[in-house]
Amino acid sequence: MRKSILNIIVLCVLICMCTIPSYSYANNNKKSKTEKEIQLNSKIALIYDRASGRIVFEKNGNKQTLMASTTKIMTAIIVLENTNLKDVVKVDAKSATIGGSRLGLKKDDKITVNDLLYGLMLRSGNDAASALAIYVGGSIQNFAEMMNNKAKELGLVNTHFVVPHGLDNEGHYTTAYELAKITDYALENDSFKKIVSTSSTSININGIPKTITNTNKLLNSVSGVYGVKTGFTNGAGRCLVTACKKNNMDFITVIIGADTTAIRTEDTKKLIKYVEEKFELVNIKNIIEKEFEKWKKINSGRIFVEKGCENSAELLLKEMSFGKMIIRKEDTNNIDITTNVIYYLKAPVNKMQIIGTLNVIINNENIATLEIYNEKEIRKKGIEEYFMEFMQIIQKIRLI
């Protein structure tokens, strides 16, 4: 009777364990505990760790907002992935008359896709954005649909595009967090990275050279900065998305809703300084693997498989999707790794069956949950195995 009850309990535990997701992160929507450490004047701010995809700091980082010309980061992605840089574009009348910041295009001007992209990202030309959208998508509406499809592909749920340039429009919005994810994806494209890291260049319109300079002044004034995009509309305020490398840390900062250009610049500098002074890059994957191996040496032999051809399980840990992450310097000694497994299993046990989890906790925050698997199938004993056990027992008796 007691054995039957024990089997039922084990079965219930196994069912619960199988419902654990394959990989989970701490909730990025959680308000940053460190928000008070930085005094910012901008309405929205965020620091995004490119190594792990985690939020390092946020102020209203998941609030839906207008995004102004930071929209052009997605515009550039769609263009780079759907056309040839050497293609020549003939500027249409609609693009030639659009308002806001402009490259200075006129109707029927001829310019390559490559030069339009520089005009898009350095000069922030709305006319360049419109011309590219119509060339690639056939219309502004079709191009916006391509942008939204890419947003879905990237797993974005709080982003929607209506226009390629970012002028204020109803239904055109993102969040600082999702804008950072878009930027992170874009920076994987070498052509995009080259363009946004350029301070000034010469382009050709109708074969006539024209020098343009980047509106992002941080490229020349803050070490480690290698892009990405400025923006401004009345609705969004002053915006700035910045990519920076400091002490092997590669991160993105987002500022939205600054009242002036000076404020968005100063707030970005504060975010960069904050990362440089307070954080460091840690190989978390290496730490986890070492701790798991230590745990296995002590505990793997304690796992018992009832009626199994093998008496114990061989354990395999789910790999993390990233190896390194930015964490606070003061928390490098506060990494807690806890392991929970089912010590009693009943054969048969399937290959890659979940039998436990490993939790990574830093400063009381659950960073990740990794599944622990049974690496190889464990068959249930049959008549042949029981017979062999019986013969071994007989042999031992004879020896006595």
The 3-state DSSP class for residue 236 equals coil
Question: Which range, 30-34, 80-84, 361-365, 396-400, is most confident?
Answer: 80-84
The set of catalytic residues is 69, 72, 124
CA distances from 283 to 184, 216, 289, 292, 360 (A): 20, 32, 10, 15, 13
Instruction: Determine the pLDDT at residue 308.
Output: 67
Beta strands in the chain (DSSP E): 23-25, 44-49, 54-59, 88-90, 110-112, 200-205, 208-213, 225-233, 237-246, 249-258, 279-282, 304-306, 315-317, 325-328, 335-341, 344-346, 353-362, 365-374
Residue 80 and residue 76: Cα distance in Å, rounded?
6
- Dihedral, CA atoms, 199, 203, 208, 209, nearest 10 degrees? 30
Architecture of the CATH domain 2-26+283-384: Sandwich (2.60)
Res. 389: pLDDT tops 70: no
**Per-residue confidence (pLDDT) for residue 42, from 0 to 100:** 98
Domain ranges for the chain: 2-26+283-384, 35-279
pLDDT in tens, 76-116: 999 999 999 999 999 999 999 999 999 999 999 999 999 99
- Per-chain mean pLDDT for the chain: 88
pTM above 0.75, yes or no: yes
Q: Residue 257: is its pLDDT beyond 80?
A: yes
CB distance 315 to 301 below 8 Å: no
Whether pLDDT at 32 is above 50: no
The CATH number of domain 35-279 is 3.40.710.10: yes
Identify whether the C-beta of residue 101 lies closer than 8 Å to the C-beta of residue 200. no
